[in-house]
């Protein structure tokens, strides 16, 4: 599933082609996604997309009449194409613009979403989300206070969207390694000082991934809409059985919350 940096790069990719454009048509080729596509999305027709934003892993296409909310699910992607280009298999929704382009949501597994939010209202999908990790609302004090009394493993804790949004599996693995924290440690037993070390590492790890993705994106209109997991030099994720880059101890893998967790038994405590 795309993680926050990949979704943010998708936002960066479509924004130049979508913001300020008039929507001529909203075409629903298959409305049976994770949730049924609401009829209200047709309100976008004959309106201007005023902003392209992101909240957690949701993309928001704002207009004066409301906001379309997109989620890519596990297999979805967005493509900006000429509206005359033939549809591909699994192109379920498209916004056709007055400038001749179209934004198409392709989702083979249909776990994505295309929802609607009225002006001055908040959709229920946003109701219990924690702060964005790259904002000042996310800091060590927030993590420390939220963790008190929690016996859950710290890796699962920082991946909980109620605590902070967008710290997915890859970046949780990498951040905990850089901070020297064992992924199985109980969140409630980690000191404020260690959270003070972890928090900026999470921010830097996500920001670096976004920057690298933005650099390699080039022209989103010519891409396949899949920025993917950027070609980073990952320190632990996917490196089970390889030597630690710091101490050369063989990296171990366990399962936490059914997710692959790779760590160094020597460097992480």
With a CB cutoff of 8 Å and minimum separation 6, the contacts of 143 are 158, 163, 164, 195, 198, 199
Q: Would residue 40 show up in a list of annotated catalytic residues for this protein?
A: no
Given the residues 11, 54, 57, 155, the one annotated as active site:
57
19, 34, 184, 259: the catalytic one is 259
Q: Which of 3, 62, 94, 174 is catalytic?
A: 3
Q: Do the annotations mark residue 109 as ligand-binding?
A: yes
- Determine whether 131 is an active site residue: no
CA trace torsion 182, 195, 187, 156 (10° rounding): -70
Please check if 150 is assigned to a binding site.
yes
- Give the CA-trace dihedral at 54, 57, 59, 64, to 10 degrees: -60
2 is catalytic: yes
Q: Choose the catalytic residue: 2, 133, 183, 227.
A: 2
243 tagged catalytic: no
Query: Which positions are annotated as active-site residues?
Result: 2-3, 57, 259
* Binding-site positions for DNA: 90, 109, 150
């Amino acid at each position: 599933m795309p993680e926050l940096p990949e979704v943010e790069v998708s936002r960066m990719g479509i924004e130049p082609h979508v913001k300020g454009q008039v929507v001529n048509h909203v075409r629903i080729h298959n409305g049976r996604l994770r949730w049924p596509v609401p009829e209200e999305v047709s309100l976008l027709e004959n309106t201007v997309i005023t902003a392209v934003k992101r909240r957690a892993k949701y993309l928001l296409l704002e207009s004066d009449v409301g906001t379309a909310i997109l989620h890519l699910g596990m297999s979805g992607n967005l493509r900006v194409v000429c509206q005359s280009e033939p549809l591909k298999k699994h192109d379920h929704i498209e916004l056709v613009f007055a400038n001749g382009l179209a934004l198409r949501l392709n989702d083979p597994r249909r776990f994505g979403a295309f929802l609607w939010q009225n002006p001055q209202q908040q959709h229920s999908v946003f109701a219990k989300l924690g702060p964005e990790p790259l904002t000042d609302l996310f800091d060590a004090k927030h993590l420390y206070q939220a963790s008190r009394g929690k016996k859950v493993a710290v890796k699962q804790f920082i991946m909980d969207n109620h605590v902070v949004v967008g710290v997915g599996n890859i970046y949780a693995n990498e951040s905990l390694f850089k901070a020297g924290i064992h992924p199985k440690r109980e969140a409630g037993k980690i000191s404020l000082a260690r959270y003070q070390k972890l928090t900026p590492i999470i921010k830097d790890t996500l920001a670096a991934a976004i920057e690298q993705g933005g650099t390699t994106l080039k022209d989103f209109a010519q891409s396949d809409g899949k920025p993917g997991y950027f070609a980073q030099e990952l320190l632990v994720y996917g490196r089970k059985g390889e030597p630690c880059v710091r101490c050369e101890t063989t990296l171990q893998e366990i399962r936490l919350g059914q997710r692959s967790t790779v760590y160094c038994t020597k460097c992480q405590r």
